[in-house]
Chains A and B, each alone.
Chain A
Amino acid sequence: MFYFDRRLLANVDWLLLAAAAGVLALGGLTLGSLTMTRAGSGLVLRQLLWDGIGVGALIAVASLDYRNLVRAAPAFYLAGLLALLAVFALGRSVSGARRWIPVGPLTVQPSELFKFAFVLMVVWVLTWRWAQPVGTATLGLAAAVLLPPFVLIVKQPDLGTALVLVPVLVLLLVGAGIRLRLLGGVAAAGLSAMPVIWFALKEYQRERLLVYLDPFRDPLGTAYNVIQAKIAIGSGQFLGKGIAGATQSRLAFLPERHTDFIFAVFAEMWGFVGCLVLILCYAVIVTRGFGIAATAREPLGRLAAVGATALLAAETLINLGMVTGLLPIVGIPLPMMSYGGSSLVVSMMALGLLLSVRMRQFA
């Protein structure tokens, strides 16, 4: 199981790694320029430490055979559920949400790490012979896999992370060959359930949705984030303001600028041109990810690659959409850019999974 063949290195996807390294570098630069003048440069050091951990996780996952990982998925999944439960007991509360568990000097966000286990688990279910052919029964199984963590994560509350699971699941179902008409039916049912969900949402979550529909509802309240982010991005204009000129970010008009809104900081500093470069990196990662899926030698590998890519793509697009004002604010980090260890490690693990599939496609 832990057999490692040196020949595997011949099939490492260097382009994928280069794009990821590019994103990491841009993220570090942005974070560093934000904290340059402040005493809080500890933030950069801590992120560098997480970078190290992330690289370790990537190598570890890449060196494991993805088939073994999927085989172990139920165990990961159950461990993840336990961790999510543990949050309620051990969790550290930050601004009204319990999402973190302290582990030594670091804090870990189980809902982030759980995403990886979720991908593996869904792949496991879809490739399980009871789920064949992919149909209504598979949907039921998938729903059963989705619901417990979804509820637990929403309860934290961390709506953003919970929502990311949905598109990942959908893409995996599509990749597994579900009939699109069936999926459409489910989507329609979901839409008609919206009113019910509305009442289940917390007040501030509803407010965020309303603000998305009308940002000037309350310009100093919830919409403040949206407006300030738009101002930051837009004022970067074509070439950006540079590090020193990025007043929106550096003078703290932009909230959550280290974490969820880091893209706005980047956009203010480097302008449209910089954004194109960054988005190009993400596009390369996603394209390579799906490329690996397309060239996987069997469905298990393909689904694993689809899941990992879907995870990265969903987080990236939801974050970018939210920061640029296309989507409501749901609070999820930008993979490999935002400050935060758990998110980074999960993204690296997803990349590791892609490499693992790629390296073994000819084996």
Chain B
Amino acid sequence: MAVSRGPVPPRRDPGKQRVLGMTVGVLAAFLVVIGQLWYLQVLEGARLQELSDKNRIRIRPVAAPRGVLFDRNGLPLVDNRPAFTLSLIPREIDDRVRVLRRVSVLLKIPYAELDDALGRVPGDPLMPVRVRRGLTLEEVAKVEEWKLELPGVIVEVEPQRMYPTSRFAAHLLGYVREANEEQLRQGRYRRGDMVGQSGLERLLDQYLRGTDGGERIEVDALGRPIRLIQHTEPVPGAQVVTTIDRRIQEAAERAMEGHAGAVVVLDPRDGDVLAMVSTPAFALDQFTGTIDRDAWVQLIRNPAHPMLNRTVQSQYAPGSVFKIIVAAAGLQETTLTPMDHIFCDGQFHLGNRTFGDWKEGGHGTVNLHHAIVESCNVYFYQAGLRIGMDTIARYARAFGFGTSTGIDLPGEKPGFIPASRRGRRPSFLGDTANMAIGQGAVLATPIQVARMMAAVANGGVFFKPRLVQRVLRADGRVLYSDPGRVNGHVELSPMVWAFLRQSLLDVVNEGTGVAAHIPGIEIAGKTGTAQLVANSRADRGQDNAWFAAFAPANDPQYVVVVMIEHGGKGGEVAAPIARAIYDAIFFEKVASVGLSG
């Protein structure tokens, strides 16, 4: 093509055609762009709109405070206080290694722990991941001070459990901890939710949890809040009114200091649990923060088993406390009469075996009343053989042994009453003799003993031990109430009941339980000293000490059962503890009001 300068004759110009082609090509390209816009804005528009909202809207969960647990008089057993939680927002952390390292140094949290916490969260990178609960004020100040260097690191305020003292009613209340993997798998909880893991916190978790609220905040690309779009108030968990009497609970815990064992205080008129102590206890507040693995392992492996609720989860030979049942069986079946008496020289021979009495030289001539008051074993060996194992077992079951009491606590043990075996072989008779003094195969939990004692006090009615009276919403609506339930009954003639009560009263007034005596208060009780199978000489004298009582004897309102592991003699170790508790019940009318700690 030549360059022509000057006028061009009007002819078909191939250049012109090409320009036309270019025009078509470029316009086609514009059409492609329009097509893409149609796709993005019309076809995908709604979805991208959602993404755009997700971009600018942060949802900050606001944790609902857990419900408060009250005692029967309206005193709080556990409350909440605001606590500081360190959280990470994955999306806003620009340089993970740098930020986590800084946090690690600043708050002395192992780097791996932070990295783990971030790494295990697959979900929404905008949702805060709670890394450490229970920051101190100093730690909060440090984080705030370095805020600009720590993008994506925030301090949230969450309500946290506050306990009167760190071990107060630990087993009864139960601890609260972040949902574990299994609970997460069930799908009812979100990661980081605090969940009741034992005791009443677990039993009533669905009521106590409440509903988390939240805030929808518009933020800019740097995560700076621009405005609040929506605020949903959290709905606090429901309030729980328990049957516990905080005053008695505190007294019982005080009395148990230094001992390993259990205390149950029941109201024999309705089966209300007034106090429930298991020692050694664990510290409830160590779970509210982030418990480290070592502390947890230590707790689990502790030979003293602090996590065990001995009132319902430990089974012991009831020892002489069991004699109440043997006496009831003998009298009701008329195998025994109050007039029968034997001579106790401190030994009982059966075949080639010799069974001893706890008292060297024996009790001399004893009838049933004396045998109970003095806890004479020789009398009961013989009585047991006369009554027979099956009958004793039948009465034991009627008195609630060998089946769980139905108390609303997880992991209750049923105890054990041997099944019927017939025969007259000496070994079998020996078992019967042993059973008659509450030794051998017989096993019972402290709560079972307490319920048995309550039945003696109230004339044979067995209540399901009640822990929770009702669960109330903040507006007063009752979500749950437990009117109490009778789940067993023993029919004995009134004369038998009267005899038992008089004997038990005399145990405290003049017998083995005299250490529980309080002038002016009629306390009826029975001591028990359950021998453990002695594996070595050192184990001797390490018997489990029992004392089971009710008072006032003429109008029973308080059943107190004390069990001390390896304590020694029931009358020497357990009875004084019961006295201290009764002392508090009858003479200290005022509780130490208010939550401290």
How far is B220's CA from A54's CA once the two chains are assembled, in angstroms? 34
> Contact at A252–B221, with CB atoms within 8 Å?
yes
How far is B29's CA from A233's CA once the two chains are assembled, in angstroms? 18
Q: Is A267 an interface residue (CB 8 A)?
A: yes
How far is B13's CA from A306's CA once the two chains are assembled, in angstroms? 15
Q: Given the known A-B contacts A297-B7, A302-B19, A306-B22, are A132 and B1 also in contact in the complex, defined by CB atoms under 8 Å?
A: yes
How far is B23's CA from A234's CA once the two chains are assembled, in angstroms? 28
> Contact at B52–A247, with CB atoms within 8 Å?
yes
Mark contacts of B53-86 with chain A using CB atoms, 8 A cut-off: 1 yes-contact digit, 0 otherwise. 1011000000000000000000000000000000
Q: Is B493 an interface residue (CB 8 A)?
A: no
Mark contacts of B21-45 with chain A using CB atoms, 8 A cut-off: 1 yes-contact digit, 0 otherwise. 1110011011011101110111011
Q: Closest approach, in angstroms, between the C-beta of A70 and any C-beta of chain B?
A: 11
> Contact at B2–A132, with CB atoms within 8 Å?
yes
Mark out the residues of chain A between 178 and 197 whose CB falls within 8 Å of any chain B CB in the assembled complex: none
Chain A residues whose C-beta falls within 8 Å of the C-beta of B22 in the assembled complex: 171, 174-175, 290, 306, 309-310
Most buried by A among B15, B32, B44: B15
Majority SS at the chain B contact face? helix
How far is B222's CA from A252's CA once the two chains are assembled, in angstroms? 8
Mark contacts of B1-25 with chain A using CB atoms, 8 A cut-off: 1 yes-contact digit, 0 otherwise. 1111111100000111011111100
Q: Closest approach, in angstroms, between the C-beta of A289 and any C-beta of chain B?
A: 9
> Contact at B219–A251, with CB atoms within 8 Å?
yes
Q: Given the known A-B contacts A251-B221, A252-B221, A321-B33, are A231 and B51 also in contact in the complex, defined by CB atoms under 8 Å?
A: yes
> Contact at B42–A253, with CB atoms within 8 Å?
no
Q: Is B272 an interface residue (CB 8 A)?
A: no
Chain B residues whose C-beta falls within 8 Å of the C-beta of A342 in the assembled complex: none
Q: Which of A42-50, A82-90, A274-282 contacts B (4 or more CB under 8 A)?
A: A274-282
Q: Is A329 an interface residue (CB 8 A)?
A: no
Q: Is B226 an interface residue (CB 8 A)?
A: yes
Q: Closest approach, in angstroms, between the C-beta of A205 and any C-beta of chain B?
A: 23
Q: Which of A175, A247, A279, A294 contacts B30 (CB 8 A)?
A: A279
Q: Given the known A-B contacts A132-B2, A252-B220, A299-B4, are A237 and B52 also in contact in the complex, defined by CB atoms under 8 Å?
A: no
Q: Given the known A-B contacts A251-B56, A299-B1, are A235 and B49 also in contact in the complex, defined by CB atoms under 8 Å?
A: yes
> Contact at A133–B1, with CB atoms within 8 Å?
yes
Chain B residues whose C-beta falls within 8 Å of the C-beta of A290 in the assembled complex: 19-20, 22-23, 26
Chain A residues whose C-beta falls within 8 Å of the C-beta of B26 in the assembled complex: 286, 290, 313, 317
Q: Is A356 an interface residue (CB 8 A)?
A: no
> Contact at A251–B36, with CB atoms within 8 Å?
no
> Contact at B49–A237, with CB atoms within 8 Å?
yes
How far is B222's CA from A325's CA once the two chains are assembled, in angstroms? 24
How far is B7's CA from A290's CA once the two chains are assembled, in angstroms? 20
> Contact at A253–B3, with CB atoms within 8 Å?
no
Chain A residues whose C-beta falls within 8 Å of the C-beta of B14 in the assembled complex: 177
> Contact at A283–B3, with CB atoms within 8 Å?
no
What interface size band does chain B fall in?
Answer: 35 or more
How far is B18's CA from A176's CA once the two chains are assembled, in angstroms? 9
Mark out the residues of chain A between 281 and 319 whose CB falls within 8 Å of any chain B CB in the assembled complex: 282-283, 286-287, 290-291, 293-294, 297-300, 302, 306, 309-310, 313, 317
Chain A residues whose C-beta falls within 8 Å of the C-beta of B52 in the assembled complex: 231-232, 234-235, 247-248, 253
How far is B2's CA from A132's CA once the two chains are assembled, in angstroms? 7
Q: Is A271 an interface residue (CB 8 A)?
A: yes
Q: Closest approach, in angstroms, between the C-beta of A301 and any C-beta of chain B?
A: 10
Mark contacts of B175-191 with chain A using CB atoms, 8 A cut-off: 1 yes-contact digit, 0 otherwise. 00000000000000000
> Contact at B8–A251, with CB atoms within 8 Å?
no
Nearest residue (CB) in A for B14 is: A177
Chain A residues whose C-beta falls within 8 Å of the C-beta of B45 in the assembled complex: 234-238
Q: Is A326 an interface residue (CB 8 A)?
A: yes
How far is B106's CA from A278's CA once the two chains are assembled, in angstroms? 53
Q: Is B254 an interface residue (CB 8 A)?
A: no
Q: Closest approach, in angstroms, between the C-beta of B18 and any C-beta of chain A?
A: 5
> Contact at B41–A234, with CB atoms within 8 Å?
yes
Q: Is B48 an interface residue (CB 8 A)?
A: yes
Q: Which of A238, A286, A320 contacts B41 (CB 8 A)?
A: A238
> Contact at A275–B41, with CB atoms within 8 Å?
yes
Q: Closest approach, in angstroms, between the C-beta of B47 and any C-beta of chain A?
A: 7
Most buried by B among A233, A235, A279, A291: A235
> Contact at A294–B19, with CB atoms within 8 Å?
yes
Chain B residues whose C-beta falls within 8 Å of the C-beta of A309 in the assembled complex: 22
Q: Is B46 an interface residue (CB 8 A)?
A: yes
How far is B4's CA from A290's CA once the two chains are assembled, in angstroms? 20
How far is B4's CA from A177's CA once the two chains are assembled, in angstroms? 14
Q: Closest approach, in angstroms, between the C-beta of B100 and any C-beta of chain A?
A: 16
Q: Given the known A-B contacts A235-B52, A294-B20, A306-B22, are A286 and B27 also in contact in the complex, defined by CB atoms under 8 Å?
A: yes
Chain A residues whose C-beta falls within 8 Å of the C-beta of B27 in the assembled complex: 283, 286-287
Mark contacts of B207-250 with chain A using CB atoms, 8 A cut-off: 1 yes-contact digit, 0 otherwise. 00000000000111110001000000000000000000000000
Chain A residues whose C-beta falls within 8 Å of the C-beta of B42 in the assembled complex: 237-238, 272
How far is B23's CA from A320's CA once the two chains are assembled, in angstroms? 17
How far is B220's CA from A238's CA once the two chains are assembled, in angstroms? 24
Given A230-B40, A251-B219, 9 other A-B residues pairs in contact with their CB atoms under 8 A = A134-B1, A231-B51, A235-B48, A235-B52, A253-B55, A279-B30, A299-B4, A317-B26, A324-B37
5 sample A-B contacts, Cβ–Cβ < 8 Å, listed by A number = A237-B49, A247-B218, A290-B26, A298-B8, A321-B33
User: Top 4 A-B pairs ranked by shortest CB distance?
Assistant: A234-B48, A237-B45, A235-B52, A251-B220
